[in-house]
Amino acid sequence: AAEAAPFRFAARPVRFPREHEFFEDGDVQRHLYLQDVLLQVADVPEKPRVPAFTCQVAGCCQVFDALDDYEHHYHTLHGNVCSFCKRAFPSGHLLDAHILEWHDSLFQILSERQDMYQCLVEGCTEKFKTSRDRKDHMVRLHLYPVDFRFDKPKKSRSPASPGAGTQALAEVQGNSGEQSEGDAMEICTEPVVASPAPAVERRTYSHRSVPDLFLKHVLNAC
């Protein structure tokens, strides 16, 4: 009797799909809110300034007068740093991959027998025989750039005399213009620091890494 013709009412829950005009008013308000938010984001805020201070990390002499700048500097340059070669990485994940692939002799040995080079893209678990294969995968499947900065192939080094070793290392460090720009330690721009300092740094750098070269040489010779 309730739904008897000509009456047609039937209680039912209503569903509105995407793009339904019912949503128009609320959507407009959301859009206006977002415009405000985005304007605020684009506005570079006046940074609160503090008395100038120097980065306390050994060997770094950057000076700052804003804490946000320092925070970013610290994370970028001193955060995920390889203790072997001093390269800085944006994340712990990339640093771990680098240490494994560049500085772990066991990794080298294992990689001769199984696929060890892990895809660097978050969420992908594929592994590859060589770093070249991995790069191909990242370029083709994940549309990564061919020259992705955080996946540099390791350069092969000529076997050792200490002199040659140092030279090979300098090659690795300052190889292409791009690489040195990305990997070199932060060069002090403050006039306060004497200009020979960078050269001194570099020598210390190579001194620390020579034992690694010797180890490689020894392994190769066996």
In the block, tokens 């990305």 appear at 182
Task: State which residue, 69 or 171, has the beta carbon closest to another protein.
Answer: 69
Task: State which residue, 18 or 203, has the beta carbon closest to another protein.
Answer: 18
Q: Least distance to another protein from the beta carbon of 96, Å?
A: 12
Task: State which residue, 62 or 111, has the beta carbon closest to another protein.
Answer: 62
**8 A C-beta contact, residue 45 and residue 55:** no
3-state SS, residue 155: coil
Calpha distance 178→128 (Å, rounded): 26
Task: State which residue, 72 or 155, has the beta carbon closest to another protein.
Answer: 72
Find residue 80's DSSP bridge partners: 89
Of 87, 59, 82, give the one whose Cα is nearest residue 188: 59
Q: Least distance to another protein from the beta carbon of 193, Å?
A: 15
Of 210, 221, 219, give the one whose Cα is nearest residue 169: 210
Using CB under 8 A, list all residues that contact another protein.
1-2, 5-18, 20, 22-23, 25-26, 29-30, 33-34, 37-38, 41-42, 44, 68-69, 71-73, 75-77, 79-80, 88, 90-94, 121-124, 141-145, 148-150, 178, 181-186, 189
